[in-house]
């Protein structure tokens, strides 16, 4: 994982623009707050499929990033399968950094 993506996710966390975990992520989507969904590469198939459907229906970009342990570590929490970014600018920055090769 590259520093820029990690830094942006960490910045989003500090800014209060992150909902993490399956229930919190779904709730934020339901409230129309989510601008980007990050899904751990090792998320359960059921979780992956559910969020692919939710993201598709809501028109929210979904990207695969890291694994559950690394996403939890970035957020200072136990492992997480789902991280929902609620700020448009931070979501755009994270997606842009990932598209530039930040997926390693």
Per-residue pLDDT band for 101 (boundaries 50, 70, 90) equals: confident
Share of the chain above pLDDT 70, in %: 94
How far, in Å, CA of 17 to CA of 57, rounded?
A: 22
State residue 64 phi and psi, 5-degree precision: -90, 130
Question: If you average pLDDT over every residue of the chain, what do you get?
Answer: 92
Q: Distance between CA atoms of 102 and 6, rounded to whole angstroms? A: 9
The pLDDT of residue 1 is above 60: no
pTM: predicted TM-score of the whole model, two decimal places: 0.91
User: How far apart are alpha carbons 27 and 103 in whole angstroms?
Assistant: 26
> Quick check: 104 pLDDT over 50?
no
Quick: pLDDT tens for 47-94.
999 999 999 999 999 999 999 999 999 999 999 999 999 999 999 999
Beta strand extents in the chain (DSSP E only): 18-20, 36-39, 62-64, 82-85
């Amino acid at each position: 994982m590259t520093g820029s993506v990690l830094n942006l996710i960490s910045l989003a966390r500090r800014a209060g623009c992150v909902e993490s975990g399956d229930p919190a992520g779904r709730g934020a989507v339901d409230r129309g707050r989510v601008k980007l969904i990050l899904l751990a590469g090792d998320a359960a198939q059921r979780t992956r499929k559910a969020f692919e459907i939710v993201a598709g229906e809501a028109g929210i970009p979904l990207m695969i990033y890291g694994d559950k342990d690394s996403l939890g570590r970035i957020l200072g929490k136990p492992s997480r399968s789902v991280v929902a970014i609620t700020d448009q600018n931070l979501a755009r920055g994270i997606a842009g950094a990932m598209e530039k090769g930040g997926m390693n």
